[in-house]
Amino acid sequence: MSLRDQRNQTADDILKGVFVSRVLKEEGNEINADINKVMASVGFESSFWQDKTFSVTGQNTLEYRHKPQHRFADMKTRNTKEGTIRKKRHAIHNKIIYGHLNDIAHQLSYGYTQAVVAELKQLEDK
């Protein structure tokens, strides 16, 4: 492979990385909006419940950070010393996040078209 081919391949890899990063950022924003909407409808409106972030790391990984206490809202039961306690369950994490995973997989599989490449090159030139 010639040096020119290697450089062109590297440019394509950079564009693919930008595309993946953009898709993950958009989906992270959509997931956050959906979680906020469901949390508000259930009554989790205080600032304690809003303390969560979605970010895309350098390895093109969507990272979701929240307080450990937030995960207890998804659970149906809790194990205590007295035994298992059933509680009201609020689907504010797993259902929403796994619902968006299909969208992410579809966009990453089929969304990188020549039109998207042209758009990314146009943004790169600016």
User: Distance between CA atoms of 66 and 39, rounded to whole angstroms?
Assistant: 14
Three-state SS for 62?
strand
**Looking at residue 115, what is its pLDDT?**
86
Instruction: Provide the pLDDT for residue 9.
Output: 65
SS3 at position 14:
helix
Residue 5 predicted with pLDDT over 80: no
Q: What pLDDT is attached to residue 12?
A: 80
| pTM given for the model | 0.77
pLDDT in the model for residue 4: 72
Look up residue 89 and give its amino acid. R
- Residue 14 pLDDT class (50, 70, 90 cuts): confident
26 pLDDT exceeds 90?
yes
CB 22, CB 75: distance < 8 Å: no
Q: What is the pLDDT of residue 126?
A: 66
Radius of gyration of the chain (CA): 20
The pLDDT of residue 101: 92
User: Span 72-84, mean pLDDT?
Assistant: 82
